């Protein structure tokens, strides 16, 4: 008689702290919360690289920048070995979020679903010059990491733009790739709890972001000017930024400053009449964690 197969353990892994609402624009936190709602025994892992965030370690690395362990094969192998060792003799599927370097060696030890919003091939040519200063060694590592993630068990992207790059730039198999839109990074709010008051007397615009131009603040300004010119009352709420661009006289502008995502942001959003809340809190047609259930990992 064949012995029963052990239950499948779903593990969420990320370089970022999945319990920190401020990490990675709140994206990973809400991913973890959505998964835990569906998989109560979800295991969240952020080790062994967590010690790289210790202040003493960071101080040492600043003095010895040539060490750079997070970019070294010996360290990535160590991470993968410790990770696999933790779950030895268990049936595991790993959801690895925005951490492709770990996939280089972890994908050889465990079934891994890699989740990301872009490839390095896209970022190095279109991401505001952020990656222009990378060394040839770092650039090679990023491409190597993305290739490993894309050729693992499955790779899930937040847009067709990123998936197309995975196929075009890294030779990914479309059958092992999927697109699931990420959510709006806001908790669901029941309609009976939302402090919404109909206000047809004016149009209220909301901008949330710390970088005015990069996040499209000029579009908010243009819309406010156009509405004002056409004689439509308009007000603007700005959270996270106080731009130098002047708004037209007569446009009511409220500056909320930098907000703590733990509570202040929700308080601001819940009082805006123009906000539309959904019960699930997602922008997409389905939650991102469907990737884990649609891959038939339960048969592995």
Residue-wise burial string across 185-201, b where 16 or more C-beta atoms lie within 10 A, e elsewhere: bbeebeeeebebeeeee
CATH number at residue 96: 3.40.50
Question: Are residues 228 and 248 in contact, defined by beta-carbon separation less than 8 angstroms?
Answer: yes
The pLDDT tens digits for 255-289 are: 887 776 666 555 555 555 443 332 333 333 333 33
pLDDT of residue 48: 57
> 143 and 251 share a domain?
no
* Residue 163 placed within a domain: yes
pLDDT of residue 145: 93
Integer Cα distance of 15 and 186 in angstroms: 22
* Residue 238 placed within a domain: yes
> 140 and 257 share a domain?
no
Mean pLDDT of 56-83: 81
User: How far is the CA of 92 from the CAs of 141, 152, 213, in angstroms?
Assistant: 27, 15, 43
> 222 and 252 share a domain?
yes
Query: For 104-162, what is the HEC assignment?
Result: HHHCCCCCEEEEECCCHHHHHHHCCCCCCCCCHHHHHHHHHHHHHHHCCCEEEECCHHH
> 214 and 66 share a domain?
no
**In this model, does residue 163 exceed pLDDT 90?**
yes
Structure tokens at 71: 């970019």
* Residue 276 placed within a domain: no
First CA to last CA distance, the chain: 19
> 30 and 175 share a domain?
yes
DSSP H helices, the chain, are 27-38, 55-63, 73-86, 100-106, 120-126, 136-150, 160-170, 217-229, 264-270, 290-294
> 35 and 162 share a domain?
yes
Domain coverage including residue 29: 8-185+283-299
- pLDDT category at 203 given cuts 50, 70, 90 is confident
User: Looking at per-residue confidence, does 168 or 202 come out higher?
Assistant: 168
* Residue 275 placed within a domain: no
Quote the percentage of the chain above a pLDDT of 90. 25
Q: Is the pTM of this model over 0.75?
A: no
The number of domains in the chain is 2
> 229 and 294 share a domain?
no
pLDDT of residue 28: 87
User: Looking at per-residue confidence, does 104 or 185 come out higher?
Assistant: 104
> 212 and 169 share a domain?
no
Mean pLDDT of 101-111: 90
């Amino acid at each position: 008689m064949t012995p029963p197969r052990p239950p499948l353990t779903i593990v969420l892994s990320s370089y970022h702290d999945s319990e920190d609402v401020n990490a990675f624009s709140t994206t990973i936190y809400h991913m973890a919360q959505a998964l835990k709602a569906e998989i109560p025994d979800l295991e969240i892992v952020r080790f062994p690289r967590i010690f790289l965030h210790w202040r003493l370690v960071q101080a040492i690395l600043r003095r010895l920048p040539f060490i750079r362990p997070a970019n070294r094969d010996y360290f990535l192998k160590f991470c993968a070995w410790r990770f696999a060792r933790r779950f030895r003799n268990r049936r595991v599927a790993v959801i690895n979020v925005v951490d492709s370097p770990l996939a280089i060696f972890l994908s050889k030890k465990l079934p891994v679903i890699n989740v990301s919003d872009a490839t390095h091939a896209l970022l190095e040519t279109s991401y505001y010059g952020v990656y222009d200063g990378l060394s040839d060694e770092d650039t090679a590592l990023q491409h190597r990491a993305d290739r490993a993630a894309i050729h693992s068990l499955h790779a899930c992207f937040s847009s067709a733009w990123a998936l197309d790059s995975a196929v075009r730039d890294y030779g990914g198999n479309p059958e092992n790739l999927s697109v699931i839109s990420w959510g709006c990074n806001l908790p669901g709010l029941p309609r009976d709890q939302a402090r919404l008051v109909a206000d047809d007397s004016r149009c209220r615009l909301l901008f949330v972001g710390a970088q005015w131009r990069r996040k499209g603040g000029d579009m908010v300004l243009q819309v406010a000017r156009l509405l004002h010119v056409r004689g439509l009352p308009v007000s603007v709420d700005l959270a996270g930024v106080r731009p130098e661009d002047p708004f037209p006289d007569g446009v009511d502008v409220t500056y909320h400053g930098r907000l703590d995502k733990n509570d202040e942001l929700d308080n601001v959003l819940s009082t805006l009449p123009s906000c539309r809340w959904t019960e699930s809190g997602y922008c997409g047609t389905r939650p991102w964690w469907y990737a884990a259930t649609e891959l038939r990992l339960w048969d592995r």
